[in-house]
Structure 1
Amino acid sequence: MSAALLFAELSNASVTDRIIAVVNSELIMLSELKAEVATEERRLQETYRGAELQRRLRQVEYMGLTRMIERKLQLQTAKTKGVEVADDEVQRAALELKRQGEKVDESNPDDKKNIKEQLLLMRVVDREVRSGVMVTESEIQRYYESHQTRFLIPDEYRISQILILRKPRETTEDARERAASVYSNLKQGADFAELALKHSDGPEATKGGNIGFVRQGELLPQIERALSTLDLGQVTEPIETSDGWHIIKLDEKRLPQFRPFAEVKTEIQTLVFQQKTEDVYQTWLGDLKNKAFIEVKF
């Protein structure tokens, strides 16, 4: 059968159902595949046309069939290993999904079946894969040493600010002049905290303009550029943004540093566990496929 003819069959809602795969003693039907990929196909049909649409639909169908075969194998393994899920567990999972905003009909047999299968899949993977994955101290240390940039803390600045906002019935030029006047006083040696308390419209004015520590990348680009040229204790000229005019003082600067190993150890352990679990899972899944009878008629 040609690819074009097969695509026409798959796109025809009234097509006669047929077997498209055999997984050990179980069948996968064309109607099941169409249900599996229906949402993805609708999304593609809204975006693509012609040959590109057909190519992408074909790809989605193959990926969907692969998922279904892998799911069958895992559910068969769960049955062979005696992994079970009780009805009350399905009920609790359905309620939790609804609480999270998912559309679940607890009286719909298909919804209940799907939830039960998901619980079975999680349980069999927990038993056959995750339970055997261990992360050693040396693996954690090795990951930390080979991924140092992941744990780099960028430059940190402790800054203070005087923010000048345009007041009602005040022109933009009037506000700019007020900011320039404050800056002129600072250049003549006036105390920053006192001027902030007296003139700043920012929420930190009552603290003498003290904002505290901010990291590189957290400030507006024009403020970061001006800040990068300052030495400790210096102030920027008034910087205009959509908020108003900012006069920034650099109170302290921390150079880039790496987060200590002890601080990130648990985080790394989780990352390494996830990586090892995925590797073991793929090996386990490959072994299931190698030992199974799989015939694709698609």
Structure 2
Amino acid sequence: MSQAITITKEDIFQQVQFSCKIPEIVEQIVTRKVIMAAAEEAGIKIETDELQKAADKIRLSYQLNSADDTWKWLNKHSLSLDNFEEIVYTNLISSKLVSHLFADQVEPYFFENQLDYAGVVMYEVIINDEDLALELFYAIKEGEMSFFDVAHEYIEDKELRRKGGYLGTVSRRELKPEISAAVFTATPPQLIKPIITCSGVHIIFVEEIIQPQLNENIRTQILTQLFSIWLKEKTHCLAGLLTLNY
């Protein structure tokens, strides 16, 4: 007969130590404490209806469609209902703090850095041989081959090959600096002369430049970035004052 296994809090903490996760967990704890202190200082309050809506969103995100689903999820993660409410509260207070601190900074930040949020619709083939890449580039320019022909023959990834090297809309931040410089000075539709990077020699066709607009997605990105910078500064200042008591 198999012997029953008992797991204690000490066992769990020891496993956390052995997995070398303590620095990561400590950082998360410090972050939560910083957020709570800043929210209290700012006088941010949470209304009951806000808490309920936030809880519903979290349940929806975890596909907890019934009370039974919720209880099973709580048991799986060793959480009580009070723990769940605290998670909801922490997430909501963080969101309201972000808005309180940075909502009025989003537009100025966007207009100062809007080139970072530009996008490009592009196709790409990466060749290992520079001479071959130049040969293919001129063959496409002179109409001896199409970009699709080159992509179909030289791209190894099956799905990308089927799409003819189509990468979709790529943001400026996702591109290597040397590629970004060439792509965003192109006049679409334009085939760009091969660019050498550490990944190989890139043959790129620029279909369209997408001018940046301050939509909700970019607004969220900026808020997240500003909040991350603020958190790093706050936690860095507290690093020397940190005391671990366990």
Larger Rg: 1
> TM-score under structure 1 normalisation?
0.40
> TM-score under structure 2 normalisation?
0.47
